[in-house]
Structure formats: C-alpha cells, structure tokens
A and B are shown apart, each in its own frame.
Chain A
C-alpha cells in the first residue's frame, strides 16, 4: 500500500457535551436540542444502513473463504491412508486475499472476517500486523498471545490456570503451541456434549488455526520465510491455515518468497469487490433514495467523489465525509430542524418560533418564491406566521414529491445514457446525478449529443430500455407515474406492432428486389434504380423512426419536468447541504500553505494585536522561528549563517530601541545567539533547510520561492 496509516481515531462520541456545543453557538430559540437529536438519529440510521450494505457486499467473498477453510481441513482428515496422500507433501493451505489499494478500509474487512470465521469455522484466529512483527520472535509472541487468549474468550472462566500463565513464561516455540492445541482440543472432546452442544456443533473436533497476515507486503521476507518453514514442519500436528491480506497484486507472493518456500504453500486466490463498485453501491443506497431526508448538494458530492477517485479509494473516508456533512448541516443551518421525515416535519412546522419563521423568510429560495406570488399573498407570507407555516408545509410536501420523482426519472435517464457510445453523460449514475444537481441538464451540450445518439438506437435496444424504465417506474414510490407507465407500455406495444408490419413490408421489398433481378434491358434497369434512389432520399421517415423520435421526445419531456436542479426548488436549503468550501477545508488539508501562513503571518493563528503587521515589515515581537523564516525567504539557495545571524539580531534588537544601540557592538549577545540557533534547528526539523557541505558555514535552502 502507498498510504499513510492514520492512528485509529478515537470515536468522538457525540455526547451531551456536543449537544451543549450545538446550543451555545446558536441561541436557545433555534431548537438546538431538537436538531441535535434529529442529527443523531439520522446518522444512526445511515450508519446501520452502511453496515448492512458492507455486510452484503462482503458476503460472497466470505462465503468462498469459509468454504475454502472447510475444504482444506476436511480433506486432511478423511484420507490419510490413501497412497497419494502419503506421497504428496503436506502443503499449508493458504488464502491470498486481494483487497485493493485502499488499505485504510482493510481493518474493517478483517474485523468482520474474523467474526465470520469465529462463528462458522474456528475460535482460533490470530491477526498479525507487520509493524508488530519485526522479527520471527515477535511474530511468535504475538501469535501465541492471541491464540491462547482466544481460548479463554471462548470457554468460560473455568480454566483459571490458563489465564494466569503470563506471556513471558510461555516458551515461544511451536512445540508449546502444539501442546497447547492438543490440550485445548482434548478438552473440548472430553466435555459433556450436553453442556457444550452449541459450540462444539459449530466447530469440528479439531478446528483449524487461522493465521491472518493483515498486510502481507509489509512483512520482511525473512520473517515470512522462517514462519512458513516452521509451520510446514508441524503441519501434521497443527492444522494451520494462512490468510494473506494483499493490497497490490497476488504476484507479490512470488516476489517475496523464493520457490523453495512458496512450494510449501497451497495458495488459492480470493478477490474482494473493487472499491469503485463498492462506492457505487453506497451512493445508490444512501444518496439515490428518498429514505433519508438529508441530501448532498452537487458541489459537495463532487468534492467527496473527487477525494475518493483522486486521493484514496477509501469508502470509509467517503462515509466519514458524508457524516461530516450531516453534522455540519445540522450545526450551521437552524432550519435543519425540519430536515426529517415528512410527517414529523409538518408537525414541527406548526411549532416553529417566530425567529425560525424569520429564518425561513430570509432563505433566498423562499424570497424568490414570494416574489412570484400576487401582492396580497406576499404580504400575508411576510407578516403572518400562520400563513407562512401553512405554505411551508405545502412546499415541504412538494419538495418530498420532487425527490421521489427525481430519483425514478434519473434512473430512467441513466438507462438510456449508460448504453450510448462514448457515454456523453457519464457511465455511472453518480456522474449523471452530479450533472443534474449542478445545472439544468437539458441545456448542456452533452445532453444534446446524447439525445442525438439516442435517436439512432436500434429497435431491440430501445425495447429493452423501455422495459427497464417501466420496471423502474412501477417499483418507484412516486404516485404520478401511472400515466408514464401507461405511455411507455403503449410505446412497447407499438414496437411490437411494427415488428408484425415489418414482416409484411419485407415481403414487399423482397418482391421489388425480385423485380430487379428479372431480365430487363439496360434502360429499364437504370430507370428503376433511379426511382429507387429517389424514393430512398425523399422517403419519409419509416414508422419505426417516427416512433423512435416520439420515444426520445417523451423521455426528454420527462427530464425537463422532473430533473430540475434542486437549488431551483423552494426551501431546498433545509435539506440540501451545499457549502463545499467547509468540507474542502476539513478534508483536503493543505499543510504547506498552512505552514507558510503560520510562519509568514503569525497573527493569523496567534491573534495577538502586537503581531498585526502592516505592510511587509518583520515585527520583532513575532516568535523567533517566524523571524528566521521571513529572513530566509530573502536568501538564495545557499544561506550564509553569519549574515543570517546578523540580520536576526538586528531585527530582535530593534525592540530595545535606541537606548540599546550603545550596547550593541560587534559582539552578538549570547542569548540572541542561542535563540537563533534554536530557531534555525527548528526550521531544519520542519524541512526548510539542511546543512550543506558545499561551503563552510552555509546551509542549503530546500524550498523555492515564497510558496
């Protein structure tokens, strides 16, 4: 993997304290408490939904793995007497699990994997990470520690004596592991069946010991080799199974292990779903559904998707970003109290305070709406709260209906655009979704060209697409689509009719062809050919072509009706989160620029009035490192330390003013000298300079220009 491992973030529990934070910023009247509760319940819903999705997506992979583990074990037990089995060398069954480069997501996968294995196959699972296994000794320690603890987890507290053996006292060797395994399996055997029926029926009598290498690429070759060699010596006594977690490609096994070692393994490959497909599913289930009231605006969604595609491929980070959007929305938008299920929202509208009503009146989309009304209505909306509440309820309902319709029509349009050559509107539905949120999609060039392409679709394609659309509309929750479905079905029957007619027509055309083939003189032939050509040129569109135009026009009208961008809708601010800049600030950090600002303009972070620089001068009140940094910006590639020190002392001495002038001789004060050296070494630590061997008493600058 090529990613930085972030230290696992301590889940910041949104506790009561957070609720208080919500309240402090915005005053009590804006329903901070309610917003907080809504936010939390919404996030919990979404979280469980994503977990469910992930479970479903991994199911296939895990099922395969479980099957593999079962097989690897049972074959070993059944036919030990057979000739081939005696002759064959016992290989260690190994699963190569290719998980993709998004290493940050692997933890979760392994966690659920070990859960699945624990439930289905064996209680003996060890998860090894390269950073804790620098040598074979550490690896064995970790392995044995995990295995012997897991035994305690499974059995109840009866085996006190096992608990008390501290890790240091156990000899870290395979022999002690084997004797442990024997004692454990024997114990399970000897236990009365009635007592432990459930657990022993889940696992076999001698369940395999599964060792998972989480990040196989990071292990040193020697450790892996030694471990495999040791294991292969004892495979008869200890049914080991290895699982290699691989981020890049399975070829890495062969490049890490020499043939003499890899020949001890019996490797089978398992591949997880690609993370892009994973993301598509998440977007499909989280964003393109009317289930959740909260929506992402076009720009915000674009930011999240870009981070995924351009930076990390991590679905977890995508979900984290989504969570951030939710929290930010509920925190910053007072009206987000209405961002809940429609029924609740209507109730909440009734109990809105006057301030909140004013908030609604201030919404730009609402103002636009008011301007469109007749003057009496305008006055009523702007002055009477009750009238406003009534209208708000209606508008919210409109918005809800809009969402339901939007999703169905979007899917329908995607059916059409995803099969066009070159995909003018994008291959994935998320691209189409972004385009529709961004602007009125029918005004874009891409839409125009895709319509043109759609007008050239073949009949069979059109028919299958129409059938798909019918399915989408039938299964959608929107109520307005009965007519649409009818219309689409009508198209379909017309196509069928055409087919029947086409048979007859073909007969006609065949007959005319036959006429041509008849013996004629040259003149007649020329004449008939000309006629044919003429008729073809001026020929009116065939019935099929007419119908095709009709279908495309109909789809176009659907798009124009239903795929209006969200920010044209009144009250969209309540449910749409649109401040992409906040998100970018949080997720796309720019450390270089931040560092430069901090050093160049310390006021920006320290907020000390004395530091407020006017013009380009260097304040002597600034921290030493800032002064040194500012001075070094003026130098070239090599910096003379003596000159630098002198400049530094000049700047610092300016503080003391004219009375210090007398004292400042050629000698630089020791304290200033020390301060300078400390500041310079800090700069070196930050990577701005490094000692140079080209000239004595010079350091080399490692950055160019002033950012």
Chain B
C-alpha cells in the first residue's frame, strides 16, 4: 500500500500537467483542474465500446453549449479519434460545430472546434464555405488562442483549395489581425501574407515584401524570424528583394536569438546569390568597395564561430553554395595566422611542405623545429576573425560532427570549382582522415576523390593518406582504393610507396582483393611513364640471371602484374622489357581477369616458339568469343527454328529432338558469354516442356486414382514448378511478353498440382485451390496491364473459372482436366537481353582441410563473402546451410550486409552462425546462396508446402563445403 501512494501522486501530477497544455491561461482560471482528471481515466473504456457509428452520432448530437466545456471537450476528442467518419456524420458535425461556436465562451474549446474543421476531410465546395465561416467566426474574436488556431486552420484549408477569391479574403483579414499585440498571431498573419500573396502581380508582391520587411524590425524574435522566413519565401517565388536591405539583414546576424540568426543567414545568402556583383562598402570603411558576394561570404564565415550549433551547421553548409566568391576570400578560409609569444609561427602544413621541397622530408621531428620566428608587431595582429580568415579551419575542428561534415562537403564543392583552392584544401582534407567519426572520415576520402583531378600528391601527403589503408573498416579502405585509382602521384617513389602499402593491405585484409586490383588498374593507367623505371624492381628481373617464376595465382603477384600491364598500355616501350614467363602470365591473366588486364599490343615476333603456340591457341579462343556475338545468335535461331518445325512431329520424335536441342543449348551457353543467359533460359523452357509431356503421357497420370503409387508423378510436377520459378525469379531483362509466358506456365503448373492433389491423393486441396485462384487473378491482371494475349490454356482456364459459381477444388479440378491434353505448351523463342542471376561464394573457399572446432550446442561464426550478379531485389536471398544429418537452415543476412556498387553487382559480406550437437569427427557443412520464394509464392501459407519441400528454393551459387567439428562441452570447469 505504501508503494501505491506515490504512484497516485505522480498520476495526479501527470494529469494536471497534461491539462495545462491543452487549455490556455484564460481558460485555466475558470476551469477546475480536477474535472479533467476524472474524465481521462474512463476515456479508454468507452473508446472501445463507442466505435460504432451510432455511438459517434450520439456523441455529436450530445454536443451542447449548455454542457460544461470539459465534457464537450472530451466528446469532441473522442469524435476526432474516430475520424474519418461517414459523409453524413461529417456534415452533421460540421453544422453542429458552426452553431455551437458563437455560443461557446471557453477559448480552449473554441480553438478545438476550429482545429476539428481541418480534420474533417471536406470536399471542395464545402471547404470554401468553411473558410468563409471560420473567417466570420474569428473576425470579432478576442482570444489570441482562438484566432491563432483559426488562422492555422484557414491557412491549411486554403492551401488545399487554392482559390484566389477566398485567398484575398483571408489576406485582408490577416492584414487586419496583424495589428494585434500577440506574437503568435502576428507570426501566423505574416505567414498567411507571405504564403497566400498571389505571385502574378509584381506590384502586390512588392508591397507585400515591404510590409513583411517592416516586421523584421519587430522587438519580438519570433516575429522577426517569421518575417525573414517569409522574405526568403517571397524571394524564392520571384518577388525580388531590394539590395538595400543587405546592410540591415547583416546586422541581424548578430541577433540575440538563434532562430533570427538562422533565418537571416539564409536571407543573406539568398541576397548574395541575386546581387553577387553589387558593390558594397568594406567593413573597415575608408570609402573602398567590395563585391557583395564576397562580403556576404565573409559574414557567413564569421557565423561559423557562433555559439549555437545549428547556426554553425547552416553557415558551413551555405559556404559551399557560394561559388561566385573571389579567390582570395576563398584562400583566406584556410588561412590562420599562427603566433606564439608574439612571434609568427608557421603551421605544421607549411613546415612539412618546406621540408619536402628541401628534400629532407621524413627526418623525424626535432625539438623546437616549430620554434617561432620573426617578431610580429602587436598592431598588425587581428584577433577577431575579420573576413573569411580561418573559417574552414574552425569548421573542421568543431566539436559537433554535423558541423564538421557540412564543412567537409562545402570545402569539397568549392574545391571542385577552383584548382588553387583544391591544392590548399588537400592538407585539411587529409587531416580529416583522422576524424573520430567514421562517416566524416569517409566523407573526407570521397571529397578527396572528387577533387583529385586538381591535385598532385607528394610523398608526405601520400604517406599520411596511405596510413589509412590499415583501417579496419572496409568502407574506409575501399574508399581509399577508389581515391588511389584516380589520383595523380608526383614521383616514382610515390608509386612504389603506394604499391608497398597496398600489398601490405592485401596481406592484412585478403578480402579486399578485388577492390585493390581495381585500384591498381587505375594507378597503372594514370602513371605509365612513372611506372616504367620501376618495372625491373617490381618484377624482380635480373639482367643476367633467370629468377624463379612467381606463382600467377598469388594475389600479391597478380596485383603487381595488373599495375604493370595497365601502365604498359600507355607506355609501349615497357612491353620490350617483358620476358617470356611474363608474357605467359599476361595471357593467363587476360583470360582469367579480363576486366583488370587491358588488351596489349604485344607482337608474336619477340616470343619464342612455345609461347607462340600458346598465343595462337588463346587468340583462336578469343576469336571465337569475338565473333560469337553473331555466330551464337545464328545457332540459337537455327535451334529454335528446328524446334518450331517439330510441332507436327509425333511425340516420341519430338522428345528426342528436344533432348538433342537441349544438349546443343547447354554447349552454347558454355561457349558464348553473350547469349548464355538466353540459351539457359530457353533450355529451361524446353525442359519444362519435356517434363510436362512426360507427365501427361505417364501411366500414373492417365489412371490417376487415390490408391495408386503416385510418388514419381508428384516429384515430376514439383520439378516442373521449380523450373517455372527459376525462369520467373532468376532472370532479369525479360520483356513483358516473355514474363507473361513464364507466369502462364507457372499457372499451368499450379493447375497441374491441383488436379493431382484432388484426384491422386487424399490431402486437402482447399488451400491450393485458393492459391490457384489468387494466382490466376494476378496473372490476368498482369496480362491486361501489359497488353499480352493469353495462350490457349490460360484463356480457357480463365473462362472456365469465370463461369463457375462456386470454385470448389473438386469442380475446378474436374473442369481443368480436359484442358491439359487439349492445349499443349506453346513453342516460343526468346530474344531479349536476358541476364541470369547467379552468385559466387568467394569465402569460404571450400578448399581448407582444417576443421573449425567449436563447443557443441554453442555458435560458430563463419565469415561468408559472396558476389551476387544480376539480381535486382535481394530481399529473398538466403544462405542455405546443409548439415550432414540432412538438417537445412536458411539464414537471412542483414540488409546492411549487402553492399551494392555502381555496376549493379551486389557483394554479400556477412558472418553466419551455425550450431550443432556434438559429432565424433569433423564433417562438411554445405553452404550455398539461394533464393527463398516460399514467402512471395505462397503468402506464407504453410499448408501449401510439403514437408522438406525444396520446390520454392532456387540455388544461385555452387555449394561450398566447410569442415566443422562440434566438440562436446568439457565438464567440470
């Protein structure tokens, strides 16, 4: 009991506080506090029973001016909670509110009446009437609360109506009400004036602008803020601001209130954009003049030292949007005059630069090498940052990441436009690589990539950049690889250093292989002549001795080769350096990694006989693939023509022919990359046909009864279904017509299944029938939408389903049965640019013989690294784990584990956890990437699936095996 007392007390306090929020000061005097408290508690119960329209109707009619205001308030809240209502009730409520309003004295309730109007979801004509009504209601109102909410509602409704006449009426009222002393009403009126003023009349806009502008002198900060905001709005809508107000607006940058500062900075920026080249007097006076945009830039720079974070963020953001600013102002932003004990000091950047120039770079830092030099005269130092001085230095050092990242963005956009500034900004961006927040670091790296065309990196800068390669975050590393691929390096030492660090990176993080190769490809392309003197060293060539042949599978060696071959592309003399084994490796890599190794013009003459032969073979191979474009298509066409001609052959011949064609297609898909997807797709279609005819002709189908042994037939139907699903989900780029064919085929499969269940088994067919009906509907819809004519079978089936009164499984199956024989699967050929979804598992490689040991019953994490090609929607991708005891787990990776790059490929980097009871010895667990279609295909209806049914699971990748051995837990620890 003792514990309950404080709870009650707190509840009381909460109710009291909630009451004071809803009721304004005037009302609070007359209303008792406790009344609401009693009412609030039962409010939950009647909410349940009062859901019916009748109850609401009752509530509406019960609203009465004679009732206590709090009761009306409660009733209204309840009504509002049940919106939307039927139109009749809405009208009833509408008229009720209008009649009640003048009689009411409680201003909180009046405000509530008004806000209810905007929730009513009225039609256009009623809206107009309502606006007029509300305007009339608040015309002679005294309470600011009521006026404010009235104006708010009117503004909302007016934006929905957008009618000039009513807008004008609202405007005139707002202009009248703006003279009220209440700040909120004033703000609302200003807002109405700003938003509703018609923009077609230039004069009206001008006078409005003047009116709004005069309110920027108000003593009330909220009014000032709204005035500035509305000026900005009017400016955006074409009413041009007067440049004269510039001086005035800039004074408000130092306002006491943050909101005013925020609004005025934006306005200042807008002014600077429209009057960039207007001349204004310099702040120091003396009759000199400067460009307005420069002055505004300096002022916004000053705001980057503001005490308020939001102001700083806005200032940092806006700086990047002022591209017209003069170069010397831009350069100032990164300049901070340093001094120590009144002596001028050079910044670390300057010192380092000097060392690089004098050639003694990387001699360690000495004590007092930052010792200050010449004495500065006290008068020459300006401590208040005048102008733009050091704005970005401060912005990048800010405590808040929002400011820092806005500053990095602005720095980047400004640097893209100005090469000189880019060179200045370089050091600062490199410094940001060391930020404490990863997003900011990443942003700095990306920014550097963007401005890379302007800059050339020296050793010292490169070294600090390369240090980031050891970062444990893969995003950072890949960002840096991208940067390296596009940047320009000064000397050969730079390239060497770059390569060394990258190889180190590869050793530490082998999963970066692809990204590193891509990066080195870029480095090679950009620096052909710089790489040239490095080649002997890189490839450890010796003028006299033959060195041992490196392993062309070693990723590090491949990296070096990629660098060399790509630079050889731009530097023909390099090819003369290549010896025989290198040429062999070149051809090997050209074959295995064509995307990283360019086509080199290496002549056969310098090559000895053995490799000559090899080149001949490879070139003939590549010859096939080159001309395959046309040949493959021809063959494909021929095959399909053959297939079509088989239409009037007898079934046995047809089957044989199909099998032959399948064989050809399979070979075709292996040989020719270009059309392999089409070939595979076609072969799937033909396979489906074969299965279908097989089923129909099987004796089990012909004598389909419940007591015969139907298992083989069931399996065949299942495989047919799976073929359909494969065609539907694992190919992209199908034309709507082709997709329609696939969908119809699937529908046929479903029908097939239904007939089998009804006639050949004693299982319930209700769910499957329902599913068929649903699918039929979607197919029909799809066909109609894409204007595809249904094939005979579908047409007949849809017609049949239409004619049935009550689609019971039995009747449907009965009517379906004759359709199968009557309408065979049509023969079609496919020609669209089809792509087939597939996946490659890179990690685990499946080659390791070492078993992963873990305690039975606990979890083992296996890192999985896979590439998924040509798949648009990754939401059905699962990782399937097959345990030796036939257990199958489907693991759904997190969405953030999918990392898609620009080329549309998706990389899946995740860790899956597996677990099992103890085994006596290590056994392989099979891992593969699959599409799990149980969800979308069956609407999560478990009844549609057999136990351990793998119909709805489509393999995307090869299976990889991992040896694991769960050990029993040790006892007695």
Question: Do A and B bind?
Answer: no
